[in-house]
């Protein structure tokens, strides 16, 4: 990216957009490694933006999404089957991770639903198009604050 031809009035050569998570801010019981890794991603944004901006004209931004509607959040989790059990008789738990996480409770303030992929894409587009967005992680979460336990 540093070898790209500079463009625009500021001589920008590109932008790096990293994805963290709201877990970087409010980790949950049993999610130590996940929260720590997402916190690490969040923590590199400002120093990397300073370094790459001065050296190469590259911006760095981050997005910390809350709960978004994806295959994982909508797909029911299959319960493990005992050895020798028939596949058609296997039970499933209700709902995906979104339902199991209680997404219909007061966790999400407004709008009271999971995020949609197009909303995430709109934020990425704004980050790319706005040259003053640099060195910051934006929470995209509908004001969700995850409880310590689900």
pLDDT tens digits, one per residue of 131-146:
999 999 999 999 988 8
Is 79 contained in some domain? no
Assign residue 5 a region (left: φ > 0; alpha: ψ between -120 and 50; beta: otherwise).
Answer: beta
Is 122 contained in some domain? yes
pLDDT tens digits, one per residue of 63-90:
999 999 988 777 766 666 667 665 554 4
Is 9 contained in some domain? no
Active-site position among 18, 31, 34, 46: 34
Is 30 contained in some domain? yes
Which residues lie below 8 Å from residue 5, measured CB to CB, with a gap of 6+? 13
**Mean pLDDT score of the chain:** 86
pTM, entire model = 0.79
Is 6 contained in some domain? no
pLDDT of residue 12: 97
Question: Tokens 């040259």 sit at which residue?
Answer: 131
Average pLDDT rounded to a whole number, residues 89-107 = 53
pLDDT tens digits, one per residue of 9-47:
999 999 999 999 999 999 889 999 999 999 999 999 999
User: Is the CB of residue 19 less than 8 Å from the CB of residue 62?
Assistant: yes
Tell me, what CATH number does 65's domain have?
A: 3.40.50.720
Report how many domains make up the chain.
1
Is 3 contained in some domain? no
Expressed as residue numbers, the domain containing 128 is 14-74+88-140
Confidence of residue 101 (pLDDT cuts 50, 70, 90): low
Query: Annotated catalytic, 34?
Result: yes
Is 102 contained in some domain? yes
Is 92 contained in some domain? yes
């Amino acid at each position: 990216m540093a070898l790209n031809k500079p463009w625009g009035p500021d001589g920008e050569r590109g932008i790096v957009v990293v994805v963290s998570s709201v877990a970087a801010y409010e980790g949950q019981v049993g999610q130590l490694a996940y929260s720590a890794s997402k916190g690490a991603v969040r923590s590199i944004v400002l120093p990397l933006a300073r370094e790459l901006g001065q050296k190469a004209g590259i911006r760095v931004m981050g997005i910390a999404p809350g709960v978004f509607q994806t295959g994982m959040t909508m797909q029911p989790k299959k319960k493990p089957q005992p050895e020798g059990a028939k596949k058609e008789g296997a039970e499933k738990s209700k709902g995906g991770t979104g339902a199991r996480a209680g997404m219909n409770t007061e966790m999400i303030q407004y709008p009271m639903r999971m995020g949609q992929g197009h909303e995430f894409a709109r934020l990425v587009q704004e980050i790319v198009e706005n040259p003053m967005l640099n060195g910051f992680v934006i929470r995209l979460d509908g004001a969700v604050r995850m409880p310590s336990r689900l």
